[in-house]
Structure 1
């Protein structure tokens, strides 16, 4: 477990850029935290740097997937799948999203993953928990769960 304190957007972007260097196909990244804690902003930075890492053109706009639940970013050999499960209330809806099938050949970033933690516990994943300290500062707890 790693604790980081982030004091501004530049540091948040730097953390996402560093993580993007390590992320590989089939990785699952779970982002937890209160509303406004930085999950979506972090996901946007991460998507940007993963895309650039694989030699693709940076997406022009990276919207929040709160309403569509899933935004996908196709690259040459795989997709980056960005889920926001905030509005999901029933685990049956998780099955409809085909998350299990999508994990194997893509990079998946999931905001509000609490509803599926039991479901994904069999997989290796990266968990990042965001806590608001004040308007600008965040505490981030980073963990790797390896089930290989």
Structure 2
């Protein structure tokens, strides 16, 4: 597993970085997002959606668990925080192995259902405007993708 780091100094930089990543993602790609409340997971996801060609407003699916958006490929945004105490298989593999890109917030709560190949992103709050992004590539594909977007 290769690890990369990148710092953002504004929400605009975060969204531009995520948009650049979104432009390169393909059907079947899975990203996990970890970070405290307010770290910037939704801000990042909005940029990612823009890069995937999503026109609708993206917001956190905290109460619905999953939202689906149309872009150049389907975009599935999951927030599985409320599944912390659940071990029920809710059909996640249909999304993980499907025709779209999936982002999962709080992925540790469904670790047993996640495919091994994914890009794990942790967002660390540094101060009001600065975030540290730690990207862990679990495959050569994601490692090359990280090298490409981080230049």
Determine if the TM-score, normalized by the shorter chain, exceeds 0.5. Answer: yes
- Other-structure match for 1:67: 63
Number of equivalent positions: 138
The superposition leaves residues 105-148 of structure 1 with CA deviations (integer Å, 9 ceiling, x where unpaired) of 2211111111122432x431011100000111111101211289
Structure 1 unaligned residues grouped into runs of 5+: 52-57
Name the CA shift for 1:17/1:74 in 2 (closer, same or farther; >3 Å): closer
Cα distance in structure 1, aligned partners of 2:117 and 2:140: 5
Report if the CA contact (8 A) 1:82-1:108 is conserved. yes
- Other-structure match for 1:54: none
* Structure 1 ranges of 4+ moved more than 4 A: none
- Other-structure match for 2:113: 119
Report if the CA contact (8 A) 2:80-2:110 is conserved. no
Which of 19, 22, 33 does residue 21 from structure 2 map onto?
19
Which of 92, 98, 114 does residue 87 from structure 2 map onto?
92
RMSD: 1.9
Report if the CA contact (8 A) 1:124-1:147 is conserved. no
Shift of 1:101: 1.5
- Other-structure match for 2:39: 37
Cα distance in structure 2, aligned partners of 1:33 and 1:89: 15
Compute the TM-score of the two structures, normalised by the length of structure 1.
0.84
Report if the CA contact (8 A) 1:40-1:111 is conserved. no
The alignment partner of 2:34 has SS state of strand
- Other-structure match for 2:52: 50
The superposition leaves residues 60-96 of structure 1 with CA deviations (integer Å, 9 ceiling, x where unpaired) of 32121001110001347x4211000111123434x12
Compute the TM-score of the two structures, normalised by the length of structure 2.
0.83
Cα distance in structure 1, aligned partners of 2:5 and 2:20: 15
Which segment drifts farther, 101-110 or 126-135? Answer: 101-110
